[in-house]
A and B are shown apart, each in its own frame.
Chain A
Amino acid sequence: MTHIMVPVKLVPDLVEELEIADSGTALDMTWLRLIINEFDDHAIEQAILLKERSGGEVTVIAPDQEGMDDVLFTAAAKGADRIIKLIGDFEEGTNNHALARAFADAAKDAGPDLILTGVQGNDDLDGSVGPYLAEYLGMTYVGYVAGLSLEGDKAIVQKEYPGGLIAEMEVSLPAVLGIQAAEEPPRYVAVSKVRQMMKEASIDEVDAGDLDTSGGLEVSSMYLPEAAERAEMLEGDEEEIAAKLVEIFKEIGVM
């Protein structure tokens, strides 16, 4: 039976304004709203789709961060068989090297055949989690995957290139795949199902020990981009603006 592990993390929710901490080298965590990395959400969906199609077992694993219990119970409601929370000093954020080491330690015990994780996260500064995890576990890594099937001890993956080109690759398992998009958009689970899961399922807690952040990078400064030079806004009602646009079209020579 294929055992699929899905490591997920939270990232800053870009709906909110981001602020820089007093240190000038990190995000201000007090104002940060965190949400599941959308690529990780696709990785969960892809794992569940595989399980539904060809059986297997899905484990979702995540660092202990505020709001993570909801993410894990939601994954359980979608069909994850096991949900694991890594206990450690994650609250203030850590780098992806450290996170990948913590995932790798847990994966060594669980022994998955396949690891699916988001190909990137919006706050990745020292690379993304997937490749590190693969290397720490001695597994192969292929990223930008948008669909896969399992054939024995191989995965046949669709890897996305720019311009819509797909490379179909055969990957020997065990492997880590960086998911760009699941074959179907992540499904909706009714809140009542998640609430039910909170009563029925339990989160396994695994001690991550002290985090090893080595190999990460030293940021010397972090800042908000200068307000870009904004567009010249055309004034007037729709009719007047339409007339102005026609003038601009003529000016730039497309009419």
Chain B
Amino acid sequence: MNNDIYVVIEHVREQVADISYIMLAAARDLAQETGGEVVGILLGQDADGLAGDLAADKVLYGEDPALAEFTSDAYQNALAGLIRENAPRAVFFGSTTIGTDVAGVLSARLGLPLVSSCLKIDDGMIVSQICGGKIMTESNLADTTTLITMIPGGYKPEEGQGGSPEVTPVAVDVADLRVALKEYIEPEVADVDITQEDVLIAIGRGIQTEDNIELAEELAELLGGAVCASRPVVDQGWLPTPRMVGKSGQLVKPKLYLALGISGAPEHVEGMAEAENIIAVNIDPGAPIFDIAKYGAEVDLFDLIDYLLEALEDA
């Protein structure tokens, strides 16, 4: 076993996912403890260009037509060989729709331990966050190659960018495929792209009825922004899916995120924690949203909106 830290670079449709950069930042922290290099593992077809700005010491590039887009078994097979042969100190995977399809299978196939939900590396310890953010754990690297799945929140993507690593092709074996990508189905066409807005008025369960969404729309209009929502609102069918912020929705970083009646479940927070200014309005003083907001107000939503609309119209 060597001291290198591997990072499985995730990409979908020729775009490197933010989690890849976040993992590189964590891998750098860990490599400083182990004294090894940070090595990006890039799998794809005609994809070596994606290595461009990865903050890795080097990138191992495995090419195969079956790797053009992600499928679980092609990745599992390719990575199993690479990890077995090179025996790095640790391998990072995203705690994502891609990484979790691979990491667990490899843990079982190669008999290697797996640490889930790593938030950050602290003095060489793997710090994980579980139970909806209510519990933290620390674990050491095991005596063997340790597999780690990473959640966002502990590093900014920029910390894993700005490199220009050397790309080394490696042979990969993807034999015996039982999963095939048929097609990507585009999300409903968004009427607005909430990831591009400076101001987001975010509504949650607290909005109560579909009709009240109009109030949020008015606010958004006065502030020159758009309305987005947490999952319950979208599940009710009150707003289209592209307006959903969170784990299975959009990742947004507006200047202002005004959270109205949103409690702040981790699945939602994951999509908006990076907003510059979070202001939360919630009648429940215990709502976790107040833990990440810059400003909070523990008042009735609808009263506040009325006054706020008035004040904004006057201003």
A-side residues, CB < 8 A to B, are 12, 14, 18, 20, 25, 27, 97, 100, 119-120, 122-128, 130-132, 134-136, 140-144, 156, 158-172, 175, 178, 180, 185, 215-225, 227-234, 237-239, 241-243, 245-246, 248-249, 252-255
Contacts and interface: CB of A to CB of B under 8 A. Distances in A.
A180 to B, nearest CB: 7
A168 B183 contact: yes
Nearest to B101: A143
B178 A140 contact: yes
A143 B73 CA distance: 12
Given A131-B105, A229-B291, 19 more contacts: A14-B132, A122-B132, A126-B115, A160-B97, A162-B251, A165-B187, A166-B187, A168-B184, A178-B100, A217-B114, A220-B140, A223-B135, A223-B136, A223-B137, A225-B135, A231-B295, A241-B304, A243-B311, A254-B256
Contacts of B83: none
A238 B303 contact: yes
A179 to B, nearest CB: 13
Among A124, A130, A136, A227: residue with most chain B CB under 10 A: A124
A131 B108 contact: yes
B108 A159 contact: no
Contacts of B315: 246, 255
Contacts of B242: 163-164
A63 B133 CA distance: 25
Contacts of A185: 235
A100 B105 CA distance: 12
A230 B113 contact: no
Nearest to B98: A161
B111 interface: yes
Given A125-B137, A175-B178, A218-B140, A231 B280 contact: yes
A125 B116 contact: yes
A39 B180 CA distance: 24
A-B pairs, top 8 by smallest CB distance, nearest first, are A131-B104, A164-B187, A231-B296, A242-B307, A135-B108, A228-B291, A231-B293, A238-B303
A144 B182 CA distance: 16
Nearest to A19: B135
B129 to A, nearest CB: 7
Contacts, number: 262
Contacts of A12: 131
Contacts of B178: 140, 171-172, 175
B308 A242 contact: yes
A222 B255 contact: no
Contact of B104 (A127, A229, A239, A245): A127
A233 B247 CA distance: 27
Among B138, B241, B310: residue with most chain A CB under 10 A: B138
B213 interface: no
Given A134-B105, A169-B181, A217-B113, A248 B299 contact: no
Given A223-B136, A241-B299, A126 B114 contact: yes
Nearest to B254: A254
Contact of B73 (A128, A136, A140, A180): A140
Nearest to B285: A233
Interface of A is mostly: mixed
A100 B114 CA distance: 14
B179 A169 contact: yes
Contacts of A229: 291
A217 B142 contact: yes
Contacts of B225: 254
A220 B294 contact: no
B313 to A, nearest CB: 11
A218 B300 CA distance: 46
B296 A234 contact: yes
Nearest to A155: B179
B145 interface: no
A125 B107 CA distance: 13
Given A125-B116, A217-B142, A231-B290, A254 B186 contact: no
Given A160-B248, A246-B311, A224 B298 contact: no
B279 A245 contact: yes
B310 A242 contact: yes
B138 A219 contact: yes
B223 A238 contact: no
Contact of B134 (A216, A225, A230): A225
B294 A232 contact: yes
A97 to B, nearest CB: 8
A140 B137 contact: no
Contacts of A249: 223, 256
18 contacts: A12-B131, A18-B134, A97-B107, A123-B131, A125-B130, A127-B103, A140-B179, A141-B105, A167-B184, A169-B182, A171-B178, A178-B100, A215-B113, A224-B136, A233-B296, A234-B296, A238-B307, A249-B223
